[in-house]
């Protein structure tokens, strides 16, 4: 049976009007942050209460809060909770416990969602970083047949934690990943080890041949990368946490002695054996591409960025220690200080001060302003030094002893007998 024509027309009209009708636009929830107030200071580590008023024309489903930096990058895990009400006042407890966070400006990102619309509100806050702590001191010893890793823990106990049948090609530590790195010289691998010194996180094989060192330098730079020199003529950059490669830079057979980061450049001191020469090579930090090679007339011991493009090179010419200041942009250079004995190791104390160990056993405190150098100690020649920023002290190593000294007076605060052939001391801080 057919439908009456008027009913068909009515149904069609109803369909047309229904198709043209628009849904009411969704309105995102409204969020008001009650606590903390803008500019509040939050200290790490702690858990913070974040109190919110939220409302919506239908209902708020969920709210969350996260710590982000000024660019919106998440810096700590967020927390959230369900609401399921049109209005509510809720308190979220946000733990901020990452000791790698540095002091400075951050933002709390608060979000509220009703299922289809989301509101985002930012609250500027200040973070006070956790106090610096010394987690461990690693002591690396090496001879042509064995490398030994010792660890001084937070209680001051020194214990041997690992050893390998290989000579030593380099060592470093990385605070963010809490990793210690040890590289063989001839054929041993480059290893990234957990704080216990035993658990292997990642490694790169050593591919040297008898009599030819493979890994020639291992440096953890200020940019957070690990720079590794190899005797096959390459400088490689790794991510310390997992060993992923960031670039490989050809050096045409020259061996890297030491590498640092200065702005957009990686600066390497290198040494060639045939013919014997030393150079400074500048690489682009993004790709490793060599952009400039500069001559060097001294055997480099340590490199430091003083400011801007100014590079300080501590090295030796014959039996004398020499400090060279060089502007990398212009190539201009001068030597503000020389020492009567060769330099064995250097540690930076602050922006203007360095401790310099000399081959005659003298320890001097060098100050850039006035280029003055004051003897503050003497004894067995030091083979390595490192600054402990948590305590403002310097950790030193001679052939068989590790000492903690006051960099102002040279006074020995603590010492440990560490056995023969100590080569490196590596303080591991919490950041």
- As a three-state string, the secondary structure of 31-47 is EEEEECCCCCEEECCEE
Give all strands of the β-sheet with 245-250 in edge-to-edge order. 215-220, 226-230, 234-238, 245-250
Q: For residue 105, how many other CB atoms are within 10 A of its CB? A: 11
pLDDT of residue 419: 85
> 166 — phi, psi (to 5°)?
-160, 155
Q: Other C-beta atoms within 10 Å of 222: how many?
A: 9
| Sheet-wide strand order for 422-429 | 158-164, 147-152, 134-142, 422-429
Give the whole-angstrom CA distance, residue 310 versus residue 352: 13
Q: What are the tens digits of pLDDT across the range 179-206?
A: 999 999 887 899 999 999 999 999 998 8
Q: What is the pTM of this model?
A: 0.84
CB within 8 Å of 180: residues ≥ 6 apart:
138, 149, 171, 172, 173, 192, 193, 195, 197, 426, 428
What pLDDT is attached to residue 211?
Answer: 58
Residue carrying structure tokens 């809490």: 178
Q: Measuring CA to CA, how many Å separate 297 from each of 168, 277, 335, 340?
A: 26, 8, 12, 17
CA distance 426 to 171: 8
Q: Is 18 a residue whose pLDDT tops 60?
A: no
Q: What is the mean pLDDT of residues 361-378?
A: 96
Per-residue tokens: 335: 């030597």
Average pLDDT in the 366-386 region? 96
Burial 82-91 (b: 16+ CB within 10 A, else e): ebeeeebebe
List pLDDT tens digits, range 208-254. Answer: 666 566 899 999 998 999 999 988 778 999 999 999 999 998 877 67
> Per-residue pLDDT for 272 more than 90?
no
Residue 26 is predicted with a pLDDT of 64
Q: Which of 349, 392, 428, 395 is nearest to 99 (CA)?
A: 428
pLDDT of residue 250: 85
Radius of gyration in angstroms for the set of CA atoms belonging to the chain, rounded to a whole number:
30
Query: pLDDT averaged over the chain?
Result: 90
Q: Which residue has the higher pLDDT, 25 or 96?
A: 96
Question: What is residue 271's predicted lDDT score, i.e. its pLDDT?
Answer: 86
Contact 322, 298 (CB under 8 A): yes
pLDDT of residue 29: 92
The DSSP result for 211-264, as a single string, is: TB-SEEEEEE-TTS-EEEEETTTEEEEE-TTT--EEEEEE-TTPEEEEEEEETT
Query: Nearest Cα to 300, choosing from 311, 286, 309?
Result: 311
Give SS3 for 85.
strand
**pLDDT at residue 128 is higher than 70:** yes
Round to whole Å and give the CA distance between 60 and 88.
8
Rounded to the nearest 5 percent, the helix, strand and coil shares of the chain are 5, 60, 35
Do residues 137 and 425 make contact, with C-beta atoms less than 8 angstroms apart?
Answer: yes
pLDDT for 25 beyond 60: no
As a whole number of angstroms, the distance between CA 232 and CA 369 comes to 41
Interval 344-360 mean pLDDT: 97
Q: Is the pLDDT of residue 375 over 70?
A: yes
Q: What is the predicted pLDDT for the residue at 2? A: 40
Checking DSSP bridges between strand 353-358 and strand 46-68, what pairing results, if any? unpaired
């Amino acid at each position: 049976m057919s439908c009456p024509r008027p009913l068909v027309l009515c149904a069609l009209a109803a369909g047309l009007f229904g198709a043209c009708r628009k849904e009411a636009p969704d309105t995102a929830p409204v969020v008001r942050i009650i606590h903390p107030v803008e500019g509040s200071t939050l200290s790490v580590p702690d858990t913070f209460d974040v109190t919110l008023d939220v409302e919506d024309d239908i209902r708020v489903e969920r709210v969350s809060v996260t710590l982000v930096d000024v660019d919106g990058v998440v810096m700590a895990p967020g927390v959230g909770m369900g609401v399921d009400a049109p209005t509510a006042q809720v308190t979220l407890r946000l733990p901020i416990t990452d000791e790698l966070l540095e002091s400075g400006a951050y933002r709390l990102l608060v979000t509220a969602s009703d299922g289809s619309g989301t509101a985002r509100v930012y609250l500027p806050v200040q973070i006070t970083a956790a106090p610096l702590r010394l987690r461990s001191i690693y002591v690396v010893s090496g001879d042509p047949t064995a490398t030994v890793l010792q660890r001084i823990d937070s209680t001051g106990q020194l214990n041997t934690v690992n050893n390998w049948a290989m000579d030593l090609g380099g060592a470093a530590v990385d605070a963010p990943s809490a990793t210690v790195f040890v590289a063989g010289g001839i054929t041993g691998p480059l290893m990234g080890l957990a704080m216990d010194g035993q658990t292997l996180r990642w490694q790169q094989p050593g591919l040297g041949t008898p009599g030819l060192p493979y890994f020639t330098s291992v440096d953890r730079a200020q940019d957070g990368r690990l720079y590794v020199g190899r005797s096959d003529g390459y400088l490689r950059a790794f991510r310390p946490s997992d060993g992923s490669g960031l670039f490989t830079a050809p050096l045409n057979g020259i061996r890297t002695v030491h590498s640092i980061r200065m702005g957009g450049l990686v600066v390497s001191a290198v040494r060639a054996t045939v013919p014997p020469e030393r150079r400074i090579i500048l690489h682009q930090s993004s790709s490793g591409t060599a952009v400039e090679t500069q001559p060097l007339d001294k055997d480099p011991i340590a490199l430091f960025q003083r400011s801007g493009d100014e590079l300080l090179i501590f090295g030796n010419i014959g039996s004398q220690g020499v400090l060279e200041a060089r502007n990398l942009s212009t190539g201009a250079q001068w030597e503000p200080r020389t020492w009567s004995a060769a330099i064995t190791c250097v540690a930076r104390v602050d922006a203007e001060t360095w401790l310099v160990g000399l081959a005659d056993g003298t320890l001097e405190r060098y100050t850039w302003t006035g280029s003055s150098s004051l003897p503050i100690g003497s004894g067995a020649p030091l083979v390595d030094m490192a600054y402990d920023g948590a305590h403002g002290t310097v950790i030193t190593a001679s052939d068989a002893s590790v000492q903690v000294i006051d960099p102002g007076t040279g006074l020995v605060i603590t010492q440990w007998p560490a056995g023969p052939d100590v080569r490196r001391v590596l303080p591991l801080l919490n950041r």
